[in-house]
Every structure is written in structure tokens, then in C-alpha cells.
């Protein structure tokens, strides 16, 4: 059964850290690029970071550069998002999405959400709340 399951969301104080996981089943990380997206209350969903199926290349949204790190463990079929120096503005539901293809530009993959692009598969999300 094909599914993406996010976990790791929590309530954390500003300056804290969290690691989100996106466990995938029914598809291979060698064939599907994975993106992390987030949606804050009252805002559009936005691309945070994406990692390529072909070479592991990555893209980060400017707001998270230097604070977030995306990685993948192909053997565990899991993609991670390490989030450091969290800010209240990072509060959102975080989703992972999968897109087939080995030659996708990761910036394009992450930004396509702005054009209401329909990714192949989505998880159900995990809540991250940054508050003191």
C-alpha cells in the first residue's frame, strides 16, 4: 500500500529543534523525489525543502536556509527534515509529498506548489508549533 506518513511534530520553544520524518511505503526514494511543504493558518501551502531521487540534490526556501536540513535514508525509506533555531513563524502543519521522475529540478519541484501543481502523493501532515 502506497503511503507517506509524517511524524515528529511537536510544541517547541523558540530557538529549539525538531526532526520531522516522512516514512514512505509502496514507492522507492530512488524513483521519487520528496518535498517538505508547510501550511500556516490562513496562508497558502509553501515549499520548504525538496530532495532529488536521482542524486540527492536539495533546495531550501530562503526563510529556512541555514536552519533546516533535508536528508534521506533510502534503506529506511524515510526522508527527514532537521529543523534548528525554530521561530514562531515556522508554526504550521508540515506535509511531505512525492513526485516521480529522476531529472526534476528541486527548486522547480518546491515552487510548483505556487501554481497549484498536483504532486503524485501527499502525506496527512504533522503539526509544528513554536511558542513560548
User: Please, what is the average pLDDT of the chain?
Assistant: 96
| pLDDT tens string 51-90 | 999 999 999 999 999 999 999 999 999 999 999 999 999 9
**Which residues, at least 6 apart from 42, have a Cβ–Cβ distance to it below 8 Å?**
none
Q: Identify the pLDDT of residue 1.
A: 83
36, 49 Cβ separation under 8 angstroms: yes
pLDDT > 70: what percent of the chain? Answer: 100
Q: Identify the pLDDT of residue 104.
A: 87
Amino acid at each position: 500500500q502506497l503511503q507517506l506518513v509524517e511524524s515528529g511534530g511537536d510544541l517547541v520553544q523558540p530557538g529549539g529543534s525538531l526532526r520531522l520524518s516522512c516514512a514512505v511505503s509502496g514507492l522507492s526514494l530512488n524513483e521519487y523525489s520528496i518535498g517538505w511543504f508547510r501550511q500556516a493558518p490562513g496562508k497558502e501551502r509553501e515549499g520548504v525543502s525538496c530532495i532529488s531521487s536521482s542524486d540527492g540534490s536539495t533546495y531550501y526556501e530562503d526563510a529556512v536556509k541555514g536552519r533546516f536540513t533535508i536528508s534521506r535514508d533510502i534503506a529506511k525509506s524515510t526522508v527527514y527534515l532537521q529543523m534548528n533555531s525554530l521561530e514562531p513563524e515556522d508554526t504550521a502543519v508540515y506535509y511531505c509529498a512525492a513526485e516521480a521522475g529522476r531529472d526534476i529540478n528541486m527548486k522547480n519541484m518546491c515552487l510548483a506548489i505556487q501554481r497549484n501543481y498536483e504532486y503524485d502523493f501527499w502525506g496527512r501532515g504533522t503539526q509544528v508549533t513554536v511558542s513560548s
